[in-house]
Amino acid sequence: MTIIVLYILLGIIAFIVILLHFSVRATIKASKQGVDIQVKWLFFTLYPRKPKKPKKPKKKKGEPETPPVQPDGQSDQPEQPDLSENALEEFIKEAEKVQEDTKVEEKTEQTDSGEVKQETVSTEAETVKTKKKKSKSKKGKPAQDTVTEEKTEKKGKIAQLKDKYKAIKPYIPTGWKYFKKLLKKIRFTNIEADVTVGKEDACEAAIWYGKVQGILFGFFGLLSCIFTVKLKKVDVHCKFNEKITDGEISLKVKVRPSTMIHIAFCLGFNMLRIWLRQRRERKRRIKAIRKKREQQLKNRKNNNNVNTQKG
């Protein structure tokens, strides 16, 4: 039974490894209209995702399709105001009550604001006193002490940065090595470029044509130094007596997930080796320092014993 389970696990692992060997493909098309990017893995489109369809609201059971009728013959039209004499007198009385209430609230606010102002004045006076005390204490110190304190702070920051750089320094070469490997594993394939260039003057058009061609092929040359590049078709056309700059570029970018995982695993393993090596070196240094201290203490004791015997 255990052997069958092992075979099943091995089959699943092999299937996952085979799937990871299929590369992720990104097709990029650039023109004056814009940039179109599409990312696929196997038969799945990772980007752009299809927009989700809006869900229709579900109807509850027993709910009528027609809108409900308002009871007691009420309509949606607004009610007309009552303009009778009794209604106007009641409205005037309510307005007078509201005015009286607002006056009372204003008086209470004025009294509260006076108390708050007194409190703010007292707090401002206290802050002024504390500032004066601090200024007197600072004036008591000489200018040299302040300059030396600033210098020591700057030196402390520089020393901290140096310590951080020393801690990171052994990891930089391995990180750079595997970073270059990762960039080389990214492949730019099926590069197609069709560019048309032109100007009204024939001489200017020829010069511009040469510049564009140099820039384009120089860019692909620089790209091939960093990544793996395979050109399919690159054309630059020149038109005289017409001012135009137009073109289209399409390419595919491929990366295998298995290579990414392999590089990440190797990088982590080498970083762990460096960390263990540094840890051993620290332990050796600590042991050497302890031995030196013990020898110094023994020498002092021996010197003290010799001095006591002579005395």
Q: Which residues contact 206 (CB under 8 A, 6 or more apart)?
A: 238
Strands 24-31 and 244-255: antiparallel
Give the amino acid at 267.
L
Q: Which residues contact 270 (CB under 8 A, 6 or more apart)?
A: 174, 178
pLDDT at res. 64: 54
Nearest to 34 by CA among 275, 248, 283, 303: 248
pLDDT at res. 76: 47
pLDDT at res. 264: 94
pLDDT at res. 175: 93
Phi-psi domain of 34 (left: phi exceeds 0; alpha: psi -120 through 50; beta: other)? left
The pLDDT profile of the chain, 311 residues, written as one tens digit per residue, is 789 999 999 999 999 999 999 999 999 999 888 899 999 998 888 888 877 777 766 666 555 555 555 544 444 444 455 555 666 677 677 777 766 666 656 555 555 555 444 555 455 556 655 655 555 554 454 555 565 666 666 667 888 888 888 889 999 999 999 999 999 999 999 999 999 999 988 899 999 999 999 999 999 999 999 999 999 999 999 988 888 889 999 999 999 999 999 999 999 999 999 999 999 998 999 999 999 999 989 888 888 888 887 76
pLDDT at res. 53: 75
Angle between helices 257-310 and 172-185 (to 10 degrees): 170
- Give backbone dihedrals phi and psi of 52, rounded to 5 degrees, phi first: -75, 140
- Interior angle at CA 23, CA 18 and CA 29, nearest 5: 160
> Which residues are bridge partners to 245 per DSSP?
197
pTM of the model: 0.63
pLDDT at res. 273: 94
CB 254 within 8 A of CB 24: yes
3-state secondary structure of 50: coil
Kindly compute the dihedral angle of the four CA atoms of residues 174, 175, 177, 178, in this order, to the nearest 10 degrees.
Answer: 110
Sheet with strand 228-240: strands edge to edge: 44-47, 34-41, 24-31, 244-255, 187-199, 228-240
Rounded Cα distance between 56 and 257, Å, is: 40
Kindly tell me the burial class for residue 65, based on how many C-beta atoms sit within 10 Å of its own C-beta (0-12, 13-18, 19 or more).
Answer: exposed
DSSP type of residue 51: P
pLDDT at res. 116: 44
pLDDT at res. 198: 92
